[in-house]
Amino acid sequence: MKNTLETLFQSFETGIRSSKAIKPKDYLKKIGLDYAELRIGFNSGQFHHRETQEFKDDFEALGVLKKSDAGVRQEDFTAYTAFGRYGLIFPLVDKENTIVNYFALRFNLETPKQEYLNSEGIYPAYPSPLTKRLYLAPTVIDCASLMQSKALENRDSVMAMHNGELLPQHLEAVKSLCELEEIIILKN
């Protein structure tokens, strides 16, 4: 099985459901998001521990792991830093609904940090071509909150901008909406 962002995200979804994931669950509750209703994972930063070098190389190529100069106890051992370590992970997808990017909310820092793995994909997904009303949310968290609110109607869709910006994939998605009647831009 190929090591992909899709397979890794499945392990993050398992991570958020772990009985040990108390702090991430508490944080989600605090911001009003439910991992049972939304695709949210938790990256403890340890997914690469006790894995093969090939496994680590695959995720280094995807940008999820970076070699670190942190001291290690074993010789011939490379330390790595994981993207979004100890953070909530949200998947961004391409037109085929394949995960191509992650948004991480590292909530356990003195000041929570939001970061993207790269600039690809759309959260939560490309809108349905039959969308009549499209909401553009400034952030992934705003987008998830709107989805969680149950305020969206049958032919409504929502897309998160990339740090408040529309990227080419957003514009392409909007242009593909043949029945679009209204775009609502949410502001922070």
pLDDT value for 65: 87
The answer to whether residues 97 and 168 belong to one domain is no
The answer to whether residues 49 and 105 belong to one domain is yes
Average pLDDT over the chain, rounded to an integer: 90
The answer for residues whose C-beta is within 8 angstroms of residue 174's C-beta and 6 or more apart is 134, 180, 183
The answer to whether residues 11 and 72 belong to one domain is yes
The answer to whether residues 106 and 160 belong to one domain is no
Helix (H, G, I), strand (E, B) or coil at 86: coil
The answer to whether residues 162 and 108 belong to one domain is no
Domain count along the chain: 2
Q: What is the pLDDT of residues 48-106, one digit of tens each?
A: 777 777 777 788 888 888 877 665 555 566 777 888 889 999 999 999 999 999 999 99
The answer to whether residues 17 and 104 belong to one domain is yes
pTM score, whole prediction: 0.90
Residue ranges making up the domain that contains 49: 5-116
The answer to whether residues 108 and 137 belong to one domain is no
| Alpha helices per DSSP H over 32-178 | 53-61, 140-149, 168-175
145, 105 in Cβ contact below 8 A?
no
Q: What is the pLDDT of residues 107-140, one digit of tens each?
A: 988 888 999 999 999 999 999 999 999 999 999 9
Taking the C-alpha atoms of residue 188 and residue 139, their distance in angstroms, rounded to an integer, is: 9
The CATH number of whichever domain residue 97 belongs to comes to 3.90.980.10
